Structure formats: C-alpha cells, structure tokens
Amino acid sequence: MAVSWERWAWTAGIGFVVFAILAFVVGGETPGVGDPVEDVVSYYDGDRGQVLVSSFLFALALGFWIWFAGTLANNLRERGEGRVASTIIAAVAAFAALQLVGTALNAVLAYSVAGSGDVGVTKAPFDLTWTIDVLAAVPSAVFFLAASVGLRRTAMIPGWLSCAGLGVACSSGCGSRTGRATASGRRRASTSSSSFLCRCSGSWRRASSWFGRCHRPKLAGGHPAARMRPVPEPRRTVSIEDARRIAVRAQLLDGSARGVLSTVRRLGFLQLDPIATVAPAQELVLWSRLGAFDPRALDRLLWRERKLVEWNAFVWPVETLPALRALMRRERRSERTGAERWRRDFVRENAGFRRYILRELDRRGPLLSRELDDRSAGPRQRHRWYGARKVGLMLATLHLRGELAIVGRQGGQRLWDRAERWWPENGTLPIARAEASLAEQRFRSLGVRLERGEWVAHPEADASPVPDRAVVLSPFDRLVHDRARAEALFGFRYRLEMFVPAAKREYGYYVLPLLAGDRIVGRVEPRFDRETGELEVLAAWGDTSRLDEALDGLAGYLRSRPR
C-alpha cells in the first residue's frame, strides 16, 4: 500500500499544533512575577505562561515545516524523484525528533529554574540542550539543500510557500533555543520560536531572496551556472518541398525500413485499432514501410521476447516503459479532464471489485475478462464499448494506471495479468522528463512541424530526394494522423468517415491515402474478402495512375498472411 506523504505531513503538522494548544490550555493562569534569578531566570521572569506561548509558536512553526516537507516530498515522488523525497523526509524527521527532545528538556529546565531560582546545578543540562541545537543544525542543513534541489525539479509549490518553508528551515541555525552556558553555570536563555520570530528577519530575507532565485532562475550570461547550460540547437527552417521529403523519410516511407523491431523503435509506437476492413492498423503501417513481412514477428516481439509492450491501445518499445510509467502515475492522480475524474471515482467506488480482480490474477492469472465475475457496485448501466458488464471497464482502467498488463491474446481477446509480473523493472522518469522525452521522440519521427507559419525540421532530419515508390497508408499512419498538418504539408484534406452516416460521407467508410514519392496524390476505398482472398476496390479518387502498383503488393501480402 503506497504511503501518502502529504497525508502524513498534514497529520503530523496538525498534531504539533494541537499538542501546543493543549499545553497552553493545561498551563492555565500562571503565577505572577516572583523574584527573578539573574540571566536564565530573567528571561522567563518566573512566568510559565510565557514559556507556553513560546512553545506554542515553536510547535506551530515546526508543524508548518513538516507539512511543507511532506507536500514537497509527495510531489517529488509523483515525478519519480524518490531519492530526493526520501532525503527530505529523513532530514525533517531527524530534525523534528531532536527539536522535540530539546524543547522538552528546555521546558523542564525553565520550570525548575523559575521555581527554585537555583541555576548552580543547571550547567550540564543546559550544555546538553546546546549540543542538541548544534546536532539539529545538521539535518536542517540537509533538508535545506535537498529542498532546494527538489524545488528546482517541481513547479507545484507556490513561491510564497517555498520561501516560508525555507525560512522555517533556517530558524534552527539563526535562533538556537539555548545559548552557551558560562563558567558560572549562568547563561542567556531563549526559545527557538522567539528567536526565530524576533531575531531571524535577516536570515529570513536572505533565505527568501535566495530561494526566489532558485525558483525562477535568472542568471546573467557570464554566470558560471549559465555557462553550464546546454546550448540549444539552432532553429532549422526549411521550404515546404524539403519539409515533404523530410516527413516521408522520417517516417521510413522511403523504403529504408529494415525489420519490425527497428521500425517500431524509429516510429516510437504503433497504434492499435480493431477495425480491419483491409488489415489491422498496426500491420498496415508496417507493410507500407517494410513491404511483405511476417505478422507473427510482431506477436513474437510482444509476447515471447517482450521487446515490445502494449499499453493504452499502442505498441511501444520496451525502452519507453520508464516514460510510460510516469504517465501511469499521472493517470492515478490526475483530475484534469472529465474522463480522468470519472475513472478515479469509478475505482474509488469499486474498491472491493478492484481488490477481487487483483486477487484473482494473483491466484489464477493470466485471465481473460470473461473468466472474472462482475462485482461492480451501482446500477447495471450499459456502456457504449463495454456493455453492461463492468469487468472490461475495470481492467482497462487498472491497465491505464499501470496495475495490469496485457500479456497476450486468445481469439482476439486480451489476456490480463499483474503488471509487475510481466513488465521489466527498468525504472521510471519524472513526469517532466518523460513528457520531454516523448515529445522529442515524436518530433524526430515526424521530422518537421509547423511553427508560426514556418516548417521547422528536426536537427537530424534528412531532406535528400525520396525514392519514387507508391504505397497506400493506414488511416492511423502518423504521416496523415494529424489532419491539419497533412493538409498544410501535402495539400491533402483527409477525414476518417467510419462513424459518419453513409449518406453524409464525402468519400467512403475506410479510405486509404495513396502516397507516391513525396506527394499524396489520391485515395482509395479497398476491401479484402477473406474467403476468396481478393482485394476489391470499391472506389478511388484523385490521381490513380499508380494505384495498381500500390495495391498489387498489398494484395500479395494479405493473401500470404496467416489466417
């Protein structure tokens, strides 16, 4: 069961404040000022109420610090920065423990001195409290440094909260609870809370201004840290003719693809789709690049060699899993969209159903969805994809969250198991790095993108002429998947009309673009008859002079593939 550091921090912080309030209430009205003892007793003036107020303020500051540390650690853990988060928690726990021991000892000494007026026997205990203060400065400094690292890596903590948290952190260094005892046993006594509130303004300002620079780094060009920054690649703008060639080559539609695994790695992923009027979408994408290939190679890479993984209706190289795990973590906590909020509520309302599925997979897995009972809560409302049974919906939701993996197929049905038993332990990434990595991979595989009316090419893109080959493309092919980009790049307006009523369709049900060289010149609506093994052409549009060349190769592949 995952630990919520934020919940722990809130509980600890509130606990400290409640403890301080109870201590203040129990203290009640304190006796009047008696005969103060010089130095130590003069601070307290025999007034135990002042001690309790100081203790209350100190506990309030300490509770706020623990809450701040827990919130930051929780955000870091969500981003995969577990080591930094653990350092923050360990440091604040050590500091809090030392401060509590020192506070308790200081309170006992204050009461005894104020009551008796005898400071001759207090040198050793006061030395002990001073030693505790010195020791507390070590975890305080560790926390200060770890928090500065963490705050550089997450933007979820507001600036005012960060400054306040680091200001509290510096209180142990700029305001000790007890001063150094003199040779006579007398000393200047102070509480950390009063010292923090009364004498720490300079350190507070320094910590706040220092952190402001960390939270929003603005370094001059000559600053050493600025010189250490990686130099960004120059923006490479290209003509639309070069952009077309780059796009075709980046997607391996120039005939340079070699092998299923290397092709998937270059493209980044393959999209899965159940509609197979001609062939499954993932096979059609591979065929347009490789020509005739053995589709069983894709199954072998997925289910036997495990060099590919299936997640969220896409096939990914296994090396992408660390970035995908970051997306899975975000799915478990995100409420940005209505669908995310619905899935989170669905899992929360069906916690028992979820436990049942995980338990059955632990005991009997892998399993098909039909081998699990529907133990969902609430009315049996029919879902547009999953029907009245909620088993498939729960399996898909847990899959998105990274708890379940698809480990095979039987008769086209997905086979499910626990993710930790199937996926390799190859780590995870912070969400920011994961998004940046996936974005870079997409840019490389697309080759060019349109920015402010200009075509910007990836630094590694190749703009050399494209071989003159003719192929048809899947509707889910990334060359045309972004419809606006395809129209701007090729002057080709393309829409998928599978879900458009027949009378309102402009072209057809399952229409494939026709690519010739670096131009999309036409479109065709084919249909493969699996009984006769014939590829029929229902309709064609545009320049169809090279249509037969493209379809002959496709027909040969479809007839040779295993049924």
* Contact call for residues 70 and 78 (beta carbons, < 8 A): no
* Contact call for residues 423 and 406 (beta carbons, < 8 A): no
- Is the Cα dihedral 159, 160, 164, 165 positive or negative? negative
Per residue in 389-411, pLDDT tens? Answer: 889 999 999 999 999 999 999 98
Question: Whose structure tokens read 């670096």?
Answer: 518
What's the rounded Cα separation, in Å, for the pair 49 and 74?
A: 37
pTM (2 decimals)? 0.63
Per residue in 417-452, pLDDT tens? Answer: 999 999 999 889 999 999 999 999 999 999 999 998
User: Which amino acid appears at position 148 of this protein?
Assistant: S
User: Residue 383: phi, psi to the nearest 5?
Assistant: -90, 145
Length of the chain: 563
Summarize the confidence of residues 305-311 as an average pLDDT: 97
In a 3-state reduction of DSSP, which class is residue 4? coil
Per residue in 95-147, pLDDT tens? Answer: 777 777 776 776 666 556 555 555 454 555 556 666 766 676 677 677 767 66
User: Residue 472: phi, psi to the nearest 5?
Assistant: -95, 150
DSSP for 383-428, written as a single string: BTTTBS--HHHHHHHHHHTTSEEEEEEETTEEEEEEHHHHS-----
Question: Whose structure tokens read 């305001």?
Answer: 175
- Is the Cα dihedral 330, 331, 332, 338 positive or negative? positive
What local confidence, expressed as pLDDT, does residue 133 receive? 66
Domain segments of the chain as ranges: 5-224, 240-422, 447-560
Is the pLDDT confidence value at 359 over 80? yes
Provide the pairing of β-strand 308-311 with 534-542: unpaired
Question: What percent of the chain has pLDDT above 70?
Answer: 64
Give the residue with greater pLDDT, 472 vs 20. Answer: 472
